[in-house]
Chains A and B, each alone.
Chain A
């Protein structure tokens, strides 16, 4: 699909503007990744979301739900109109991903650090079943502070789950500020390589580079892969990029005008 990244950005902004608030920062930083995964890499069938041969995605940083919902709607998993129901009473699109509610959502997330283990479990099951489906999972850089992430990575490395690709959305920010100020993580590539994981860094807003990293990851035998994506939180929303308060934003009237302008500009580029 052409311009999938731009289309995803448009839908995210529209749905958050409709609600008036939401997790805009972490949704915007994974747009190019989702565009590559659903546009070019993943084997999925929007008409049959539970197809057993599909590739899986666990959005461990579940608060970025709006980004994934937009992608799934654009792919045809459900109607685009449904996006406007985000967080409404009895919605099928809650702020955090819920596998029992939304077609195309493979795992329920929102309590940080838990999704990675579930993704490892799916990859393990596929190996046990002698199948070839691939499993992708996206974790936040702040989320990586949860010890459970490291339990999951150690397991994945030991069991040589080479059908698993873990993306770290390294947007340098978490809820209360810069990740380096709250609990420094050092160079994640060096760190994870010593964990026996095939780890590379890549520009998280360069779709070609992302695609290439994924292709390399998928042909690396006996090792799960980690792709550390160098990203900008709230990418594409100029007035929120580099803003420490861009994790969850309740928009002012002026901000809504600016957001609508961004939508118009993106639409003109389609």
Chain B
């Protein structure tokens, strides 16, 4: 792990989907077993660049997510490395048994990219808005479950998982994210990243909630409350060592996720602290379905804000 933090995090110019197409095109030049798979959503994830570069190793199966997972399993039996993309809900809950059995239980190698993390599904609404994908994927033994924090991390993680056998689920936002890391940073799966130290409380966050956590920490600092921020992009394997240390060194842990608080990051952190006296509060979607609307509205609606993190910290310190 060698990480360079961006001094002033700001919205990146690069879209996450651009990184997907570009990085995979590069990787596929070297690794002749890589196959990119889509189920009629290449328009949404913009993989035309990859398709033009590697038309023979690009498969748009059609609107058949379950079949796509089985097909990936077959490709993997022959040693190929399938990268499978569709919207998160269709990648997980729609084709769960195919992912669970044909990929997970069968011990095969596939990288599943689930896009439009949580509320970033915005105008597509409840049918397309995954608040449970992390939970479902965590329940598959041996699966690795990651949520991307920015495009620099996504680029590095794509490179790593190409060379790591097994089932990986990578949850992404399709468009621009706040850039947290300088280009060239290297990440370690299983290791959380301390973005800010603080001994009153610590926020363990993923995805779009990291930026909210940083804002909350900034605000609270003005009031003399020192709040640390950890990027826990690696939800499974979770960095349990770090979580346990934090439980000992601070009075309060707040988790923040763009996902149901049942089954996701918050649950994983609580499970890790089973034997450690600690106080943990979860900020996230409180057992609700998705709905349509602009993302900023949804952020308020589901209380996925720095404001809510601050409220929870103040109430529990």
Tell me if A112 is interfacial: C-beta within 8 Å of chain B: yes
Interface: B60 (CB within 8 A): yes
Q: Is the CB of A176 within 8 A of B38?
A: yes
A25 close to B (CB within 8 Å): no
**How far does the alpha carbon of A182 sit from the alpha carbon of B291 in the complex, in Å?**
30
B89 at the interface (CB under 8 A from A): yes
Q: With a 10 A CB-CB cut-off, give which of B43, B63, B94, B301 has the most chain A CB atoms.
A: B63
Residue from B60, B126, B294 within 8 A of A182 (CB atoms): B60
Report yes or no: B291 in contact with A183, Cβ–Cβ below 8 A.
no
Report the interface size for chain A: residues with CB under 8 A from the other chain.
Answer: 30
Report if B297 contacts A (CB, 8 A): yes
Nearest chain B residue, comparing its CB with the CB of A142: B63
Q: Is A147 an interface residue (CB 8 A)?
A: yes
B206-264 at interface with A (beta carbon < 8 Å): none
Known: A111-B94, A143-B63, A147-B67. A176 touches B127 (CB 8 A): no
Provide the bound-state CA to CA distance between A183 and B60, in Å: 9
Quick check: is B90 within 8 A (CB to CB) of the other chain? yes
Stretch of A32-40, A90-98, A198-206, A256-264 at the chain-chain interface: A90-98
Contact B60 A176 (CB under 8 A): yes
Q: How large is the interface on B (under 10, 10 to 19, 20 to 34, 35 or more residues)?
A: 20 to 34
Min CB gap B236→A, angstroms: 25
Interface residue from A87, A111, A182 paired with B123 (Cβ < 8 Å): A87
Is there an interface contact between A183 and B125, defined as CB atoms closer than 8 Å?
no
Chain A nearest Cβ from B77, distance in angstroms? 21
Quick check: A96 and B127 within 8 Å, CB to CB?
yes
For the complex, give the distance between the alpha carbons of A265 and B315 in Å.
Answer: 60
Q: Mark B43-72, 1 if CB is under 8 A from A, else 0.
A: 110000000000000001111101100000
CB of B136 closer than 8 Å to a CB of A = no
The 4 closest A-B pairs by CB, nearest first: A110-B127, A183-B62, A145-B62, A94-B292
Tell me the A residues contacting B by CB distance below 8 Å. Answer: 21, 62, 87-91, 94-96, 98, 108-113, 142-143, 145-147, 174-176, 179, 182-183, 245, 247
**Beyond the given A89-B294, A145-B63, could you list 16 further A-B residue pairs with CB under 8 A, ordered by the A residue number?**
A21-B123, A87-B293, A95-B125, A109-B127, A111-B89, A111-B94, A111-B127, A142-B62, A146-B63, A147-B66, A174-B62, A174-B63, A175-B40, A175-B44, A176-B43, A247-B43
Q: Which residues of B contact A (CB under 8 A)?
A: 38, 40-44, 60-64, 66-67, 89-90, 94, 123-128, 291-294, 297, 301
